[in-house]
Structure 1
Amino acid sequence: MTPHISRKTRVTGSVAAAAALLVAGITAAGTAGAAPAPAAPHGGAALALSTSHHAELVHDAQAATAQTATSLGLGAQEKLVVKDVIKDTDGTVHTRYDRTYAGLPVLGGDLVVHTAKGGAVKGVSKATTAKVAVASTTAKIAPKAAALAAESTATKTIGAKKVDAPAPRKVVWAAKGTPVLAYETVVGGVQKDGTPNQLHVITDANTGKKLYQYQGIENGVGNSEYAGKVDLTTKKGANGYELTDDTRGGHSTFDLGGSESGDGKLFTNSTDTWGDGKPSNPQTAAVDAAYGAQETWDYYKNVHGRSGIKGDGKGATSRVHYGQSYVNAFWDDSCFCMTYGDGQGNNKPLTALDVAGHEMSHGVTSATAGLEYSGESGGLNEATSDIFGASVAFYAKNPEEPGSYFIGKKIDINGDGKPLRYMDKPSKDGQSLDNWSADAGNVDVHYSSGIANHFFYLLSEGSGAKDANGDHYDSPTADGSKVTGIGRDKAEKIWFKALTAYMTSTTDYKAAREATVKAATDLYGADSAEVKGVESAWAGVNVK
């Protein structure tokens, strides 16, 4: 048997990328990783758990779910299912649960229990405060009727084609208002631009009324003028080398070869040199995809102590060359994979470092808070990927493509040389929101994300004019107040802590403010400059 040996290899390349109109743009960046930021002084930072320790915590929590449900006062028909566990340096444990009722999944019933080192419950973060109960679990509407209605919804609301809805599952819908018996139908097919469709449609099982819908495929865009030679970790195979990184959970990169389905073919090569910098070489896109996954893994591990997207030490997969002239990229939880199109004319692969950071962060959000991809929670979901996509770019420290708060700086999607998004003043793109208003939940999530993006910029850098890395920023505030930044390193840690410990599937902007204040308190203390900075930055975007 030929031994499997992880190797580092030098690769050259130059890849450009384009973007679809409504998908999230992300900034480009480059190579060597940065050192982790200093530990928080108040013991609220998450421990870097080994895979076995994480699994042990999850196992112990699952064994105690009945006792936990009783202590929380849940009903006799309610059960808890452990989704994730994180542990802080001071011994505090944050256990995230999904909930079932009479054996049915409760959508919007997730919660996080915060337990002190000694075992005392410090608090509970809930997606809903409503009592979870329904009069009957027998539906009045037939499953087939719900499925047909969902197919119609997909066709009418998002222009989906080749729609296909398998039998829906019966659930309890608790995310909005009084919990009701419902059907969840996942409609397949493709969206207008060729992206796979996974539209989740929630239908009242007794009246047939549509209650909610959200897209399960989360899109993003990016652009990379490939920054010279990069190191890739590959594996020695029986007949050469494989584009598999066993040092990062076994992440592998596959070639779809223009197909829109299947796993694709693992990239292999007779030598350990990959790509030639030209999009006509299929390996070039694979190099970018593998490099992006590598840097994203390192960012989460070295900055936040998280081993892999789910915190379980397992790597995702990347698929390149999806479809024909597909101008997009997307994350799909069902295959735990990143997929990249080749752009207009198959000449501009969307395989960029910031795309990987953005899209794989959708996976982190799904594995933690599970922010619903609609309304204000959807805006927070998109902003989270923008925030961490940009953070990965800053972390990589490529001198030729320094990190930036201008999103999609290099893609020139509008043909005028301007960025796709601006974190310092989101409205400069013509559609994103600078500040919160009562209508924020009705705006497309890629534009309502501007509120949190603006918050993150203010928290990191402060208001007013500033020059950095060749970019000029000038960030206003909703009330004209002056905000003093606390630094991006601290802002990243606060957002990550809030996402993983306090946000839930239904978190809106007001709840996000509360979550980040709690996170900053855990990390830096109740009277710290960091907590005051969080409060000031939220006020700067009209979230009070």
Structure 2
Amino acid sequence: MSSLFARHKRTTLALATAVAAGAMLTTGLTAGNAAADSTAPSALAGAPVLLSDTARSALIQEQQAGAAGAAREIGLGAKEKLVVKDVVKDRDGTVHTRYERTYDGLPVLGGDLVVHRSKSGATEGVTKATNAAIKVATVTPKVKAAKAEQQALSAAQDAGSSKTAADSAPRKVIWAAEGKPVLAYETVVGGFQDDGTPNELHVVTDAATGAKLYEYQGIQTGSGKSLYSGTVELGTTKSGSSYQLLDSGRGGHKTYNLARKTSGTGTLFTDADDTWGTGAASSDPQDQTAAVDAAYGAQVTWDFYKESFGRNGIKNDGKAAYSRVHYGSNYVNAFWSDQCFCMTYGDGSGNTNPLTSIDVAAHEMTHGVTSNTAGLNYSGESGGLNEATSDIFGTGVEYFANSSADKGDYLIGEQIDINGDGTPLRYMDKPSKDGASKDYWDSGLGGVDVHYSSGPANHFFFLLSEGSGARTVDGVDYDSPTHDGSTVTGIGRDKALQIWYKALTEYMTSTTDYADARTATLSAASDLYGADSTEYKTVGAAWTAINVN
């Protein structure tokens, strides 16, 4: 799970890792002015195609049936097996199959890989999270599980958690994300973090020595009258004499009211006349306005991914997540959880500033997309790339929505006024303007909170889209510097989004760092536009401009 911004005790705030039959209102949303160039994504041979649920399921089954052969072909050992996690098919017939790996029946953390096959079925390449051979002397631990559990509980308590308890007994795994693969335990700790966000701390312990190998936080924190987007059309469903905030046209997305609680699903929002909310903030825990924003954010995010990339929902399986609003009291955050497969929103300071703007909602749901594609580990450089991915597509969704009340920009969380002075949470043109984020890559970036190590990737995206230097885009003034003083000419936001999405879904893995991200996006640009294209060259120039060479 990932929160919208960094927890208070660590640093200042920053955004995380966030859709009808019988309805009186229409369910469709019109794609806005997202197109920044004339190249239609659907015309690109390397762009993904929208697969029906039946076709996708059949392709997954086909790839799973051939998984044993694939494992032998790419040189895996006799104790290793591949399990299909996802599959992407491009317009030119290329198939990219993402696998998880097991060793002697144990999950291999950091063992994920993607096999790229041409239309004819020939293997064109493999992208691996680790190149190390998976082999351990024994799968019998020397350290007892209880010791691993206590280590995990202590780590959570040291970070300020409350009601700390292991969600389940430690499980045996092979840890392969860093260094030599070893037998390990993974323990998941529940309870609450220091700001009230649910805790889902994953701690990996060496099963031979008891040393802590890794830890990351699984919680990834970023018609009705909405608070942030004006009057909007909603997908709702009539049930008896009333209406439910249930969008059957977008996978069955539901919006629930937690009414200040911090657990459970809550109560599904209903309304007598299918006219929702007041458009004004309210501290009433039954208020519908926050629910309108959450439901609208979910449906426009669904439409953005489907129309831009042919992606049918967060898992690409046609099924929606759900949303919960009015979480806790004075909770100044929002978060995505894989565990509940849901987005959750607090009402902010005074319970009158819900964190439900379009870019926040899209940010949170994108954590779900990342989890179900590259699975970028939420720590170190991969964690920063995870956060940046949510900011990048949150920006894309905001432009796609084309709302006159919340216009598209390269500012993150500008509507929710987290800082209390009208400033955005983050800036993509020069991330350091928030006082904590990094503009450029350096060797210490992996030790920075993921909400701030996302800065260089956000900066890369702005440079790739719009270019360097001073400029005004859609009424907002920006001034984007470069590490080496170079000048970058942008290729347009639409192309930049296509490149990042293809890189995320086909070339990134759980352990991808900034150098790997450069390679992944160059591969994506080559597939989409050609290795001699302006787009390919600009990707390289934008990475160099943030000191990733």
1:131: which partner in 2?
133
1:407 partner amino acid: I
Q: Within 5 A, what are the aligned runs for 1:464-503?
A: 464-503=469-508
* Whole-angstrom CA distance in 1 between matches of 2:17 and 2:178: 31
Percent identity of paired positions between Structure 1 and Structure 2: 62
1:520: which partner in 2?
525
Q: Within 5 A, what are the aligned runs for 1:391-402?
A: 391-402=396-407
> How big is the shift at 1:401?
2.2
Q: TM-score, normalised by structure 2?
A: 0.92
3-state SS of paired residue (1:345): helix
> How big is the shift at 1:239?
3.3
* Whole-angstrom CA distance in 2 between matches of 1:26 and 1:484: 29
* Whole-angstrom CA distance in 2 between matches of 1:41 and 1:288: 33
* Whole-angstrom CA distance in 2 between matches of 1:177 and 1:19: 29
Q: Contact conserved, 1:18 with 1:344, CA < 8 A, in 2?
A: no
1:62 corresponds, among 58, 61, 64, to 64
3-state SS of paired residue (2:423): coil
2:25: which partner in 1?
none
3-state SS of paired residue (1:400): coil
> How big is the shift at 1:225?
4.8
Q: Within 5 A, what are the aligned runs for 1:35-434?
A: 38-39=40-41, 43-156=45-158, 158-165=159-166, 166-220=168-222, 225-278=227-280, 279=282, 280=284, 282-434=287-439
2:205 partner amino acid: T
> How big is the shift at 1:71?
0.8
Q: Contact conserved, 1:19 with 1:25, CA < 8 A, in 2?
A: no
* Whole-angstrom CA distance in 2 between matches of 1:330 and 1:47: 30
1:438: which partner in 2?
443
3-state SS of paired residue (2:382): helix
1:219 partner amino acid: T
1:161 partner amino acid: S
Q: Contact conserved, 2:149 with 2:170, CA < 8 A, in 1?
A: yes
Q: TM-score, normalised by structure 1?
A: 0.93
Unaligned runs of 5+ in 2: 19-28
> How big is the shift at 1:410?
2.9
* Whole-angstrom CA distance in 1 between matches of 2:542 and 2:42: 20
* Whole-angstrom CA distance in 1 between matches of 2:220 and 2:16: 12
Deviations 1:422-463 (A, max 9, x none): 111111111111111011111111111000000000000000
Q: Contact conserved, 2:114 with 2:128, CA < 8 A, in 1?
A: yes
Q: Contact conserved, 2:427 with 2:433, CA < 8 A, in 1?
A: yes
> How big is the shift at 1:41?
5.7
3-state SS of paired residue (2:330): coil
3-state SS of paired residue (2:41): coil
> How big is the shift at 1:228?
1.8
* Whole-angstrom CA distance in 1 between matches of 2:424 and 2:331: 21
> How big is the shift at 1:32?
4.0
3-state SS of paired residue (1:172): strand
Q: Contact conserved, 1:19 with 1:411, CA < 8 A, in 2?
A: no
Q: Contact conserved, 1:244 with 1:253, CA < 8 A, in 2?
A: yes
3-state SS of paired residue (2:371): helix
3-state SS of paired residue (2:221): strand
Q: Contact conserved, 1:18 with 1:348, CA < 8 A, in 2?
A: no
Q: Contact conserved, 2:500 with 2:521, CA < 8 A, in 1?
A: yes
* Whole-angstrom CA distance in 2 between matches of 1:480 and 1:40: 36
* Whole-angstrom CA distance in 1 between matches of 2:87 and 2:296: 29
Change over 3 Å in CA distance of 1:225–1:470 after alignment to 2: farther
CA RMSD of aligned residues (A): 1.8
> How big is the shift at 1:72?
1.1
The yes-or-no answer on 1:24 pairing with 2:30 is no
> How big is the shift at 1:291?
0.4
3-state SS of paired residue (1:232): coil
> How big is the shift at 1:85?
0.2
1:274 partner amino acid: W
Q: How many residues align?
A: 521
Unaligned runs of 5+ in 1: 1-16
* Whole-angstrom CA distance in 1 between matches of 2:235 and 2:269: 13
3-state SS of paired residue (1:109): coil
1:33: which partner in 2?
31
2:84 partner amino acid: V
2:164 partner amino acid: V
* Whole-angstrom CA distance in 2 between matches of 1:298 and 1:40: 15
3-state SS of paired residue (1:150): helix
Q: Contact conserved, 1:25 with 1:420, CA < 8 A, in 2?
A: no
> How big is the shift at 1:26?
11
* Whole-angstrom CA distance in 2 between matches of 1:388 and 1:273: 29
Looking at both structures, which has the greater relative contact order when contacts are Cα pairs under 8 Å and sequence separation is at least 6?
1
Q: Contact conserved, 2:16 with 2:364, CA < 8 A, in 1?
A: no
